[in-house]
Amino acid sequence: MDNPATPRILHFMKHDSDVVIVGGGLNGPALALALAQGGLSVTIVDALPLDTRKDDTFDGRSYALALASQKLLSALGIWNEIADHAQPILKVAASDGHAGEGPAPFFLEFDHAEIEEGPMGFMIEDRYLRRAFLDAVMAEDRVAHLSGETVVAQDVQPGGVTVTLQSGKTVSARVLIGCDGKRSGTAERAGISRTGWEYGQTALVCAIEHEKPHEGTAHQFFMPAGPLAILPLPGNRSSIVWSETTDQAAAIQAMDDDSYLAALRPRFGDFLGEIKLAGARFTYPLSLSLANAFVSDRLALVGDAAHGVHPIAGQGLNLGLRDVAALAEVMVDAHRRGEEIGAIDVLERYQTWRRWDTATLAAATDGFNRLFSNDNPLLRGVRDIGMGVVNAMPGLRRRFIREAAGLNGELPRLMKGRPI
Amino acid sequence: MQAVETTVDAAEVAKFEAMAAEWWDPNGKFKPLHMLNPCRLDYITSQIAAEFDRDLTGPLPFTGLRLLDIGCGGGLLAEPMARLGATVVGADAAAGNIPVAQVHAEQSGLTIDYRHTTAEALAEAGEQFDIVLNMEVVEHVADPLAYLTACQQLLKPGGLMICSTINRNPKSFMMAIVGAEWVMRWLPKGTHEWHKFITPDELFALIGNAGLDPVDRKGFVFNPVAWTWSLSDRDLSVNYVTASVKASA
């Protein structure tokens, strides 16, 4: 047969693994496990050294896991390892507050008894979650873990993608996934621009021990400078996420522990009795940062790399895990039907699935924050009445609870607790 | 290659040759096939898994199966089948498709035997396959019964044929010709001729006459809101797919 000369675009090379994930935080290992369980091989490139990841002293950081995220951890086989350390959130109480005045009369309360699935979520300390992921990743044959390595270059070709590490090592794969946070180098090197802004607010984060039991209740007080969340940890301990203007937060963070506690105490009153610090203190400047695309040729962005949202509703990790579940499902389904997992039309299915959800949540939390972080008496009146109304309407309340638990929208199967 | 007696309509072949280079652009001229592909693959993979008792969650589930993709084009189905472990022959009556498909398979690291030939020529040469994929071809051939008979001869006893095509009714005229060719411009005008479309009952009868047992049929349904295709048990009104088996010896 006549066979016209054809251009040789690229000679195929055997890839080191199917997927290379940049970022060893929580989303990276979660995605690696999900993909490996779906039959794909993965290399994780983690900038932090292994010892830092393994450190299990309590540093004060913790996460509010939505129920759907907990189901994903169950499906991945992680939950059993951390269940003993998790505190169920049985009730959420939100109220308008003014320093020294206590809660406003209209009080929004959500109780897990109003949805059938169980607790609304769980509080888990970072050290346990991080360690469980690391152990699971280390035990998984299909995952290679490179610690203390940063990416200096990435090169996308028609047949695959190669990343070059600082050590000079290269890793080739069919797809590159950036789980490398708000300032994602993966996105930047791919030329994906971002949209976002600063809020002029900073979250102060710490853990406290308190005299009286919290009874599994998460409190959210809407203060003029920003929200204050008190989230229950196992025992008589709680995690505090406390937003102030950036200048004020810097001043508070600079105080010694006694003055810090003295600043914190009047902000939520004395319903938990005496309080003292139970870990280190952190600050996180609040900003919104959305990548203008979640995918490009042979590349996808997950978690904060795609969308760093305002953490007001504690949805950052939950949104990230939802990305993980959606991307893993898209890629594993494609793999099982024989499609090229790095093809743009495959990756675009993930973008279509996640982008709308993310944009609406980012807009909602942004609007929520602007409404609530305000001392205008008229707005205070509006939100107090609004809370009273939501409180009085069971249907709307159920929707709020289900949304907070991550149970609304088209859920990936991992988030229903089903295997990949 | 030598000239072969064929039921392929020469004018149809020329139309596809003109489009060959565009095969692998998901937003190019073959966008409708790329959009339909996941749905086609879901049907094909599940039918093969059921017929040959394979586990789709395991590695290379189609290892050991010899598969022929007729009208392989740029390899949109041949490549996934090879990736799942099948030994694949891709046949196309349009010579221009062959080098395009070969180059792409090489880029993808896949070994696929692409040939400029026809079902009839392969049957005459005595080739045998476990699976024959016969997707969106039968509505383009001059003599469907002769063509399906060749497909039947290509199958080993116990073999499986998947055949998809387009129904013939006013709705399919509106969707496949007015909608896809004239309005959306998904396909060049004249890609399809409505009178060559075949109803599911006609296709089942043809398949039976060709010596195969039709065992399943499903609709491919386009959802204009979600902009995706899905399989339907009931709606075979436009695009549809069938599975047929050759009796064991």
Instruction: Write out pLDDT tens, residues A198-246.
Output: 878 888 989 999 999 999 998 888 777 677 889 999 999 999 988 888 9
Classify strands B228-232 and B239-245 as parallel, antiparallel or unpaired.
Answer: unpaired
For chain B, which residues make up each domain, given as ranges? 10-245
Question: What does the pLDDT average to over A6-18?
Answer: 60
- Predicted structure pTM score: 0.85
Contact criterion met (CB < 8 Å) for B107 and A39: no
Residues of B in contact with A8 (CB under 8 A): 103, 106
pLDDT of residue A420: 92
- Which parts of A14-142 fold into alpha helices (H)? 27-37, 50-54, 67-75, 79-82, 126-139
Contact criterion met (CB < 8 Å) for B58 and A10: no
In angstroms, rounded to a whole number, what is the distance separating the alpha carbons of residues A365 and A177? 26
In the predicted model, is pLDDT for residue A390 greater than 80? no
Assign residue A296 the CATH number of its domain: 3.50.50.60
Q: How confident is the model at residue B174 (pLDDT cuts 50, 70, 90)?
A: confident
The closest alpha carbon to B97, from B8, B177, B35, B165, belongs to B8
pLDDT of residue A267: 79
The closest alpha carbon to A335, from B57, B36, B110, B230, belongs to B57
CA distance A338 to chain B (A): 4
pLDDT of residue B225: 73
A residues 253..272 contacting B (CB < 8 A): none
In angstroms, rounded to a whole number, what is the distance separating the alpha carbons of residues A142 and A37? 8
Contact criterion met (CB < 8 Å) for A1 and B57: no
Selecting from B81, B103, B107 the residue whose C-beta is nearest the C-beta of A338 gives: B81
Does the interface predicted TM-score (ipTM) exceed 0.90? no
Selecting from B26, B57, B95 the residue whose C-beta is nearest the C-beta of A344 gives: B26
Residues of B in contact with A1 (CB under 8 A): 1, 95, 98, 115-116
Task: Give a yes or no: residue A1 inside a domain.
Answer: no
Q: Are A208 and A278 in contact (CB under 8 A)?
A: yes
Q: Angle at which helices A316-336 and A67-75 pack, to 10 degrees?
A: 40
CA distance A319 to chain B (A): 22
Task: Give a yes or no: residue A163 inside a domain.
Answer: yes
In angstroms, rounded to a whole number, what is the distance separating the alpha carbons of residues A302 and A347? 12
Per-residue H/E/C for chain B: CCCCCCCECHHHHHHHHHHHHHCCCCCCCCHHHHHHHHHHHHHHHHHHHHHHCCCCCCCCCCCCCEEEEECCCCCCCHHHHHHCCCEEEEEECCCCHHHHHHHHHHHCCCCCEEEECCHHHHHHCCCCEEEEEEECCHHHECCHHHHHHHHHHHEEEEEEEEEEEECCCHHHHHHHHHHHHHHCCCCCCCCCCHHHCCCHHHHHHHHHHCCCEEEEEEEEEEECCCCEEEEECCCCCCEEEEEEECCCC
Q: Which amino acid is at A8?
A: R
Phi first, then psi: what are they for B91, rounded to 5°?
Answer: -115, 135
Residues of B in contact with A337 (CB under 8 A): 38, 41-42, 45, 80
Is any Cβ of chain B less than 8 angstroms from the Cβ of A343? yes
Task: Give a yes or no: residue A31 inside a domain.
Answer: yes
The closest alpha carbon to B98, from A4, A340, A10, belongs to A4
Give the N- to C-terminal CA distance of chain A in Å, as an integer: 45
Q: Which long-range contacts (CB under 8 A, 24 or more apart) does A364-368 make?
A: A365/A309, A365/A310, A365/A312, A365/A313, A365/A315, A366/A288, A366/A310, A368/A312, A368/A313
Size of interface A-B (CB pairs under 8 A): 65
Is the alpha carbon torsion for A173, A174, A178, A184 positive or negative?
Answer: positive
pLDDT of residue B103: 84
Quote the number of domains for chain A.
1
The CATH number of the domain covering residues in B10-245: 3.40.50.150
Domain that holds residue A48: 19-65+73-83+123-197+287-376+412-416
Task: Give a yes or no: residue A213 inside a domain.
Answer: no
Summarised one tens digit per residue, pLDDT across range A54-76 is 887 777 778 889 889 999 999 99
pLDDT of residue B3: 42
More confident residue, B40 or A317: B40
In angstroms, rounded to a whole number, what is the distance separating the alpha carbons of residues A267 and A224? 11
In angstroms, rounded to a whole number, what is the distance separating the alpha carbons of residues B240 and A149? 51
Q: How confident is the model at residue A11 (pLDDT cuts 50, 70, 90)?
A: very low
Q: Which residue of A has its CA nearest to B45?
A: A337
pLDDT of residue B81: 98
Residues of B in contact with A41 (CB under 8 A): none
Is any Cβ of chain B less than 8 angstroms from the Cβ of A141? no
Task: Give a yes or no: residue A343 inside a domain.
Answer: yes
Task: Give a yes or no: residue A204 inside a domain.
Answer: no
Summarised one tens digit per residue, pLDDT across range B2-58 is 444 456 666 654 544 444 457 888 888 788 889 999 999 999 999 999 999 999 999
- Name the binding residues of B for S-adenosyl-L-methionine: 40, 71, 92, 135
pLDDT of residue A74: 96
Q: Which amino acid is at A230?
A: I
Q: Which residue of B has its CA nearest to A334?
A: B38
- The CA–CA distances, whole Å, from A257 to A260, A261, A277, A280 equal 5, 6, 8, 10
Strands (E), A50-169: 62-66, 87-89, 91-98, 102-111, 121-125, 143-146, 151-157, 160-165
Mean pLDDT of chain A: 83
Contact criterion met (CB < 8 Å) for A338 and B84: yes
Share of chain A above pLDDT 70, in %: 76
Q: Among the listed ranges A200-209, A282-291, A313-322, B240-249, which one has the minimum average pLDDT value?
A: A313-322
pLDDT of residue A6: 37
Task: Give a yes or no: residue A117 inside a domain.
Answer: no
